[in-house]
Amino acid sequence: MTVVHDVPKQLYIGGRWQDAESGRTLSVDNPATGEELCQVADASPADGRRAAEAAVAAQAAWAATPPRVRSEILRRAYDIIIARTEDLALLMTLEMGKPLTEARAEVAYAAEFFRWFSEEAVRIDGGLTTAPDGKNRLLVTRQPVGPCLLITPWNFPLAMGTRKIGPAIAAGCTMVLKPAPQTPLSSLALAGILTEAGLPEGVLNIVTTTDAAGVVEPLLRGGQIRKLSFTGSTQVGRILLAQCADTVIRTSMELGGNAPLIVFDDADLDVAVEGTMVAKMRNMGESCCAANRIYVHTSVAEEFATRLATRMAALKVGPGTEPGIDVGPLIDIAGRAKAHDVVRDAVKRGATVLTGGELPEGPGCFYPPTVLTGVSADSAIIDTEVFGPVAAILTFDDEDEAVAAANDTEFGLAAYLFTQNLDRALRVSERLESGMIGLNTGLVSNPAAPFGGVKQSGLGREGGRVGIEEFLEYKYIAVPVGA
């Protein structure tokens, strides 16, 4: 496993790789085997403070660096990532579990954020207008918000990093990245690539730690960090928002989801089944956009469920490094237990298992693709973000009922709908309380689109034209012009 061997295992602070001050390390495990892959540095709050100080020290010079220079660093990093697709994909599969085909797709997706924001870096604009009374000229410019703290989850180890690092670099912000402790290797590899691409020291600092709360809270309360960009659970998001309130730190929050997927009776069922496979099974269901509740019109429910179960049962489950595997292990045993618990609860409340639903023997955190029909609305699966390969099917009789059920959640990240009726498609899209809609498609993620949610799924957007805005402040200069 030379890809693991080749990745630095230390903290990256002020352009130097270094051990944690305490000398402590944390274990990175392969979820396909349960075995340890390697140890990486386990930062303490003191290490976190040093990382923030390095980001603060680098901020002024980085903000003054020409946009074209920032842009070209991102573009070079894009080229390096693409050239190293195989190594980065294997690294991700080893630390996170997803099949190599999906890992390769994530490398391309992750790299695309760097290409996109390399193009945005040179297009930051302001304005010059005349005040209504005709006296002052109103000059508006943009400035980087300042040193940022970026916190990422384990499910898309590379793309969640590039989606935050890309716009921060483009905007001229320095940063501390705290990746999830389960998947630090992709982020450490990324730091190496950005350094090779010419990123000055101190612009990106990385702290890997098992003490997220202990490291993060002092940074948010310390007065030096000006922006938090977080992707993770709503539960942790709330804690961080409260901490940010005290020091009035700007936030971007990509939080949990509970995506509904609606199949109307006028849907093309082939398209609906294939779309559901993607919306449900991408990343083994370990995605905040994963279809969590599948509402199918009563008249097509049986046909849809049978077809979906046939496709799900044919998927090959196994270690993501092996050829032909469709479904890798879940991230850990706790993740698998959560998926199995909601399946058992649904069955207890009357659901039928069409395929899957049994805990497999043997090592690793595998869970079989599972389809449940006749799921009752009071089942735990309806308001639990499953994060696993479990498709829960419910039925509805009319559009209002489907929309009401879909919106009956505190979340509002993604929603999917399948219909061939354009009028209905637009009407229902507008009524769904959701930041993103997949209309006859199971995939919404795209670096050029504004990704994000409403309600308790978050604040702000990542990607698209607005992605860089999250890292920029307005500066308004009043200029009187004499008569």
Binding site for ligand ADP (CB under 6 A): 151-153, 178, 180-181, 212-213, 216, 232-233, 236, 239-240
Compare residues 216 and 391 and give the one whose CB is closer to ligand ADP.
216
Active site residue 254: yes
What contacts 269, CB < 8 A, 6 or more positions away?
Answer: 263, 300, 303, 304, 307
Return the residue matching tokens 């630390």: 95
For the bound state, the minimum distance from the C-beta of residue 331 to ligand ADP, rounded and expressed in Å, comes to: 8
Structure tokens at 304: 């849809």
Compare residues 153 and 467 and give the one whose CB is closer to ligand ADP.
153
Q: How far apart are CA 410 and CA 275, in angstroms?
A: 24
Compare residues 154 and 304 and give the one whose CB is closer to ligand ADP.
154
Q: How far apart are CA 117 and CA 162, in angstroms?
A: 10
Query: Which candidate in 244, 288, 289, 365 is catalytic?
Result: 288
For the bound state, the minimum distance from the C-beta of residue 232 to ligand ADP, rounded and expressed in Å, comes to: 3
Q: Which sign, positive or negative, has the C-alpha torsion 217, 220, 221, 225? A: positive
For the bound state, the minimum distance from the C-beta of residue 51 to ligand ADP, rounded and expressed in Å, comes to: 14
Query: Which candidate in 95, 112, 120, 254 is catalytic?
Result: 254
Compare residues 166 and 335 and give the one whose CB is closer to ligand ADP.
335
Compare residues 42 and 274 and give the one whose CB is closer to ligand ADP.
42
Which long-range contacts (C-beta less than 8 Å, at least 24 apart) are formed by 403-409? 403/428, 403/431, 403/432, 405/260, 405/293, 405/295, 405/377, 406/260, 406/262, 406/293, 406/295, 406/432, 407/431, 407/432, 407/433, 409/258, 409/260, 409/383, 409/455
For the bound state, the minimum distance from the C-beta of residue 432 to ligand ADP, rounded and expressed in Å, comes to: 24
- Strand pairing class (390-396; 414-418): unpaired
For the bound state, the minimum distance from the C-beta of residue 228 to ligand ADP, rounded and expressed in Å, comes to: 9
Active site residue 430: no
Residues composing the chain: 483
**Residue whose beta carbon is closest to ligand ADP:** 232
**Would you please indicate which residues are annotated as catalytic (active-site) residues?**
254, 288
